[in-house]
Amino acid sequence: DWSPSSFIETTVAQLREQLKDDKVILALSGGVDSSVAAVLLNKAIGKNLTCIFVDHGMLRKNEFENVMRDYEHLGLNVIGVNAHDKFFGELAGVTEPERKRKIIGKGFIDVFDEEARKIKDVKWLAQGTIYPDCIESLSITGTVIKSHHNVGGLPEKMNLKLCEPLRLLFKDEVRRVGRELGMMEHLITRHPFPGPGLAVRILGDITPEKVSILQNADDIFIRGLREWGLYDKVWQAGVVLLPVQSVGVMGDERTYERAVALRAVTSTDAMTADWAKLPYDFLAKISNEIINKVKGVNRVVYDISSKPPATIEWE
């Protein structure tokens, strides 16, 4: 029966058999799935694996630097690419969620492709796809609710074979495998984060200023969850910047500023999710801190919708 250690042993043997001396590339996202896939492949084929981590500018505050440090610590051969200007440029004025996803997906492929071409004779593209990803992208009616595949089309374009060592695992199994591989606990227990990042948490058009406001609010919420021992009790959490301004008072002044929504859910696979019953004291503290410290925000609301019929992300 299934255990992380037997999974690792079998998979490493299979990967060596399948990949031999071939060169493999993998897109790291900072998330647990791609990180576990990378460490597993690194164990199997070492330096024949090159990882590429694209910073599209819509990551969490300090995420790129922190995660790059973790990856280097894990001994991964990783190339970090700052592509902020490209993505902010292409996204300027775009408000429609699926168009944001398409632009980011395509931009990501361009950057990845450009980096990958610098490596000679790459034969394989490895991905941290897990079982629920395969199901969610083929909903029962055949309608795509949200296009999740950020690297869809990449293998064909680059003429690469696809290697997906985690495709039969659920999230909790991926985490157990990561732990068995000796990965840092904060990497393993990291919440899922969408590929298009904060771009789908800014309703309306995206500007560097809005990203910065959202990063600061999100950082307060996520650090608060950790400090209160709540981070590991929720599946996923984040802040959404709303395209709404409302009236407030600050001292004697009337303000007319933005509203943000806090989102935190419990789930086991993201297919269904319930809003997290966070303590009122905690919500009060986070709300105060965001309004006091994040310039441009004067109102905080808490999202109490479950999936279905709502989704986890607002876009």
32 is in an annotated binding site: yes
Query: Of 129, 236, 287, 298, which one interacts with ligand XMP (CB under 6 A)?
Result: 236
Residue whose CB is less far from ligand XMP, 8 or 38: 38
Query: Of 148, 179, 223, 285, which one interacts with ligand XMP (CB under 6 A)?
Result: 148
Residue whose CB is less far from ligand XMP, 39 or 312: 312
270 binds ligand XMP per the rule CB under 6 A: yes
Residue whose CB is less far from ligand XMP, 238 or 298: 238
Query: Are β-strands 236-250 and 253-266 bridged in parallel, bridged antiparallel, or unpaired?
Result: antiparallel
- Provide long-range contacts, Cβ within 8 A and 24+ apart, for 183-189: 183/35, 183/36, 183/39, 183/74, 184/70, 184/73, 184/74, 187/32, 187/35, 187/70, 188/32, 188/36, 189/32, 189/231, 189/232
CA–CA separation, 131 and 303 (whole Å): 28
CB of 295 to ligand XMP, least distance (A): 27
Residue whose CB is less far from ligand XMP, 39 or 200: 200
Using CB under 6 A, which residues numbered 174 to 233 contact ligand XMP?
192, 194-196, 200
35 is in an annotated binding site: yes
Query: Of 61, 101, 171, 258, which one interacts with ligand XMP (CB under 6 A)?
Result: 101
What is the b/e burial string over 202-223, where b = at least 16 CB atoms within 10 angstroms of the residue's CB? Answer: bbeebeeebbebbbbbbbbbbe
Sign of dihedral through CA atoms 46, 48, 54, 55? positive
29 is in an annotated binding site: yes
234 is in an annotated binding site: no
CB of 129 to ligand XMP, least distance (A): 10
Tokens at residue 244, please? 């709404």
Q: Under the rule (CB under 6 A), what is the footprint of ligand XMP?
A: 101, 146, 148, 150, 192, 194-196, 200, 236, 270, 307, 311-313
